[in-house]
Amino acid sequence: MFYKTQLKDHIRVPPNMFGLKLEDAMVQMIKQKYEGYISKDLGIVVDVSKLDEVGEGIIIPGDGASYYEANFEVITFKPEMQEVLLGRIKDIADFGAFINIGPIDGMIHVSQTMDDFVSFNKEKTLAGKESKKILKVGDKCRARIIAVSYKDVANPKLGLTMRQGGLGKLEWIEEKLNKKTEKKPKTKKK
């Protein structure tokens, strides 16, 4: 899920940026420090949306840069358990599929791709034995988060499933909905 989060930090503005407007220099330095930052509490910082307040600056002897206390807002992506996400298949391996869901990739184990016996072939696709469903690179899919790990904070891991109702390749979901509407008996109006 995406969040707007208020942060407060001391931001270093180097001497080569003293010619810029203070707000412009601050935003550049905050972006440099925080974009792509990952933590278990914040999630993944996607962007700095606005600078709210800049305190009085101080210069630390021997550094030459000025430091300002700043309040600012960042946009973060923090994956939540059971959250349903839309993404695109980025890569397929014999053990599953990798799906890009914006600022991060998740992994769908082969057993979680569909309710069928699934096989991997040389064309980098996953195919269902009974259903004849094919999953390939570039397919748009809807998946649910079933595992989130920050064991390696620099590279969080997401486990996903597409084996529940309303999940899977978007074309599969649409086909299933169309079949349901075709099966409904038509009632006559009096």
How, if at all, do strands 140-149 and 157-161 pair?
A: antiparallel
- The ranges of the chain annotated as CATH 3.30.1490.120 are 2-77
Q: What is the average pLDDT across 155-183?
A: 87
Residue ranges, comma separated, of all CATH 2.40.50.140 domains in the chain are 84-182
Is 70 exceeded by the pLDDT of residue 141? yes
Please state, rounded to an integer, the average pLDDT across all residues of the chain: 90
User: What CATH topology corresponds to 2-77?
Assistant: Dna Ligase; domain 1 (3.30.1490)
How confident is the model over 29-62, as pLDDT tens digits?
A: 999 999 888 988 888 999 999 999 999 989 888 8
Q: What's the CA angle centered on 45, arms 40 and 47, to 5 degrees?
A: 170
| Between 152 and 161, residue with greater pLDDT | 161
Mean pLDDT score, 128-132: 90
Residues, the chain: 190
**CA distances from residue 60 to 19, 24, 57, 66, 70 in whole angstroms, order as listed:** 19, 21, 10, 7, 17
Is 70 in contact with 30 (CB distance < 8 Å)? Answer: yes
The pTM score is 0.77
> Which CATH superfamily does the domain covering 84-182 fall into?
Nucleic acid-binding proteins (2.40.50.140)
pLDDT at residue 108 above 70?
A: yes
In the structure, what pLDDT confidence band is assigned to residue 181 with cuts at 50, 70 and 90?
confident
pLDDT band of 154, cuts 50, 70, 90: confident
